[in-house]
Structures are given as C-alpha cells and as structure tokens.
Amino acid sequence: MSKAAQEQLRFVGKMVHVSLPREPSSVDSRESDPADANAGRARARGVIRDAIFAILLAILLFLCWPGRLHAQDDCLACHSDKDMKNAAGHSLAVDGDKLGASIHGSLKCGDCHADIKTYPHPDKVARVQCLTCHATEESDLKGSVHADGKDHPCISCHGDAHTIFPKADARSAVYPLNVPGTCAQCHSNNGMGQKHGLPSIYPKYIDSIHGYALSKEGLLVAANCQSCHGSHHILSHKDPQSPTFKSNIPNTCGTCHAKINVDYSQGAHGKAIAAGKMKAPVCTDCHTAHGILQPTEAAFRMQSTPICGSCHKDKLSTYHDTFHSQLGLLGGYVETARCWDCHGAHDVLPARDPKSPIAPANLVTTCGRCHAGANLQFVQYQPHANARDRKLNPALYFIRLFMNLLLAGTLTFFMIHTILWLIRARIEQVKNNSAIGGDHD
C-alpha cells in the first residue's frame, strides 16, 4: 500500500476516535448513574465505534487500492476509440451508449473479463466464460450439435457481447424476425454449414410459407429456426431426443398446428408412427422440412400425387390409368382430384373405418364435392381398379387380356399382310420389267 494510503488510514482512525464521545469517567459514573448502566453504555459505544471504523476502513481500501479499474468509464477511456484494434486486426472498440442500453449494461467490465484486475492489463486476456452467469445454457450447448464449433458459440448467435439485447427487443439477433438471418450466417450459401457438408437451408426457408409469413408479413408467431430446432440444446435429427427426430416431428409441428396434429394422430399414418413403424410418413415427408409450400398452391397440388406415390407405388400406377390422372397430366389441370381430395390430408383412414371419406356410406358425399348429382350408381366407379390383378378384378383382367390379344393379333395380321403384299408387289415388278425387256428384243 502507498504511503498516501497509509496516511489516509491513520487520519480516518484519528477522526473516528475524535468524533465519538468519550467514555464517562468513573467519577462521573458514580455521580450520575449506577455502575451497571454506565458499563452497558460504554460497551455499546465501543461496538458502534468499532463498526464505524471497519466500514470506513473498507471504503478507504476500496477507493485507494492502486491500479483498480473503477468501472466501465476507465475501460471506455481507451475502448471507446472506434479505430482501436488488436494485433490481429480485430476491432476492440466498444460503443458505450449501446453497451449501456444492452442486457449487460448494468454489469462492470470486470464481471465478464474477470482476469483483468489492474491497468494496464496484459495484451492477451482470457476468453470470457459466459457460463459464469449462464450455466444452464452452457450445459445445454455442450450436448448440442454446436458444441464443437471453433468460434465462440454464444456470440456467433447473439452477436457482439457488448450489444446483446433481450430476445423481445427488435435489435436482438435472436428476435423472432431476426432468427433466420442469424442462422443464415452459417446455414446458407457459402456458409460454415456448407464447409461441413450441410445443405443450404436459408434460401429454401425464406421462400416457404413460414419464411414469407415472417419476413413479408411480420408475423412473429410464424415458425422460425428456433421454433423447430430449439435454441441451445439443438440435437441432430438422428437423435431420438431431438424435436426433429422423425417420431417427434408431429408433436413439434403440433405446437402451432394443434388441430392438424390431433387429426394426424387419429389417422392411419399417426397410429403407425405411434406403433414404431418408422416407414409411415410424418409432416416433413409430405410438406418437406424447410421449403414448405401453401397447400392450396398449384405447385403443391401438382406434386402431391407423386409424394403419396413414393410410398403407395401400386396405387399410383392404377391412378395413372384413370381419367383424373390423365386430365391432370395432359394439361396440367390443377383442380382434378388428387389423392388427398378423396382420402383426406391428415386423418387418413382405411375404407373399412366408418369415419373415412372413402367408406362406402360416405362415397356419395365425397364424390359429390366435385361431381354434383353423384348417386349410388355413380360411386360404383373404381378409382384404383387394377386390370393386372386377376384376383382383385377378374372381369377387368380378362377383358384387358382379350383386348390386348385382339390388338396384338390385329397388328400381327396386318403386319404379315403388309409384308406379303410387298413381296408380291416386288415379284410383279420384276415380271413386268422382264416382259418389257423381251418386247424390245
């Protein structure tokens, strides 16, 4: 401790002794009060005097300790310079106004830069440990897919540590409207994600129904990256604990689409997933994960049949034989019936279920949505009649066989007839040429 500080301490000590009233002498005590009362008051004054002295001493030590960094003002004396950089060329500038308005504005610099205790401080300082205050988030991050990131994972998402704002603040990097752009720093074209072999996600998302609602309409309730993947404990889609693991996807989407999730869980696909049959489709199998289209758009309707057909290949082939399919394929007619127009979109049920739209009792109503005046005779039409299956459709099978044989026989007959006709014509031509040559001789 410096001599000046020592002198100040001595001065404080003297002031304490001078300012406090002296203990009454024994003579005064005998004259004014009983001995016991005087002794009690003397002890009380002694305790008060010692307490005041300890407090003043602590304050003085705090104020006079050499090299102490008082608060942000001392650090900003240098770091407020916008051109301040380290040897590697990285900016060391700190905007005091933004820092004061940030979520860390109430903290002292030393609360985060704990290894800096004096000035001037070393050129190389320890990396800030966010876990000091954010232990839960740090624990979640360690088990996530971002745990092995070389860059500081906290500031990679939250931005500069000196300008971090609450997530409800529009200036925050994790404000709902800003989340896609924050994630796009890695998960976009030429981002860090591509360096690790990950696909570019941001362009697909921003053109999707969710991205449009968020970026164009400003709907904060629209799903962003965090809505599906979480914030700190982000796991691989192969991890059973991940919200994007296949069996968990319906409930993840169901946080926003609650009614659809209920319908799906009651349908054949939802029941299959609940029973552990992972080949059954979930939301992302039909709608994709990021490039989700509006279901009423022509682009989605045109691709919906091949999507269903990727699992139901036998039904797709029979659908292609129908008027519905031919009409759609020939002119790209959007309004023609697709799979989900008849079977339902989410609560898909087998025909034997009374609640299914393709149950025999419901067919008139289902077909009547497009075909006004549909009756019992009309719904005898078989949309998936398989002329190749003898057991399922024997009459249609033999009719198809007869027609194919008739067509093949007719073509074969006329092909043979044409070949024989050509041979005869050639022979006649040769004879005619020979006869003409003989006449000239």
The answer as to whether 361 is a domain residue is: yes
- Are 151 and 192 contained in the same domain? yes
Grade residue 366 by pLDDT with cuts at 50, 70 and 90: very high
Provide the CA 434 distance to its chain's centre, in angstroms.
Answer: 88
pLDDT above 80: residue 440: no
Given a cut of 90, is residue 343 above it in pLDDT?
Answer: yes
Decide if 122 is inside a domain: no
**69 assigned to some structural domain:** no
pLDDT at residue 15, as a whole number: 45
Q: What is the mean pLDDT of residues 426-432?
A: 87
Residue 137 and residue 229 share a domain = yes
Q: Is the pLDDT of residue 65 over 50?
A: no
One domain for residues 171 and 195: yes
Backbone angles phi, psi at 398, to 5 degrees: -75, -35
| 332 vs 328: CA distance, rounded Å | 5
Residue 89 lies in a domain: no
Residues 214 and 243 in one domain: no
CB-based contact 271:264 (threshold 8 Å): no
Backbone angles phi, psi at 102, to 5 degrees: -80, 175
Q: Is the previous residue joined to 357 through a cis bond, with omega within 30 degrees of 0?
A: no
319 pLDDT higher than 50: yes
- 93 close to 82: Cβ distance less than 8 angstroms: yes
- Whether the predicted pLDDT of 70 surpasses 70: no
**Identity of the highest mean pLDDT range in 3-7, 84-88, 175-179, 306-310:** 175-179
**Are 314 and 363 found together in one domain?**
yes
Cα gap 372→359, rounded to integer Å: 19
Count of domains for the chain: 5
Q: Say whether pLDDT at 60 is over 60.
A: no
Assess if residue 226 is contained within a domain: yes
Note the pLDDT tens digit of each residue in 112-143: 888 888 878 888 888 888 888 999 998 998 88
Residue 108 identity: K
**Confidence check: pLDDT of 263 > 90:** yes
Task: Give the chain's mean pLDDT.
Answer: 83
Q: Model pTM greater than 0.85?
A: no
Band of the pLDDT at 332, cuts 50, 70, 90? Answer: low
Higher pLDDT, 425 or 86: 425
User: For the residues 187-195, what does the mean pLDDT come to?
Assistant: 76
Residue 19 has pLDDT above 50, yes or no: no
281, 226: one domain: no
The encoded tokens of residue 182 equal 């924050």
Range of the domain at 192: 129-234
Examine the domain organization and report whether 143 and 226 are in the same domain: yes
Q: Specify whether 136 is located in the same domain as 211.
A: yes
Residue owning tokens 């719904």? 379
Decide which of 64, 87, 115 is a domain's last residue.
Answer: 64
- pLDDT of 63 over the 60 cut: no
Residue 105 lies in a domain: no
Q: pLDDT-derived band of residue 31, with 50, 70 and 90 as boundaries?
A: very low
Same domain, 364 and 305: yes
- Count how many residues are written for the chain: 441
The answer to the question of residue 56 being in a domain is yes
Q: Are 386 and 392 in contact (CB under 8 A)?
A: yes
54 with 34, same domain: the answer is yes
Query: Do 197 and 141 lie in a common domain?
Result: yes
Whether 134 is covered by a domain: the verdict is: yes
Q: How far, in Å, are 161, 231, 420 from residue 408 at the CA level?
A: 79, 66, 18
Query: In whole angstroms, what separates CA 165 from the centre of its chain?
Result: 21
Low-confidence winner among 44-58, 72-86, 338-352 (lowest mean pLDDT)? 44-58
Q: Which of 16, 47, 64 is the last residue of a domain?
A: 64
Q: Are residues 319 and 349 in the same domain?
A: yes
Last residue of a domain, one of 292, 311, 328: 292
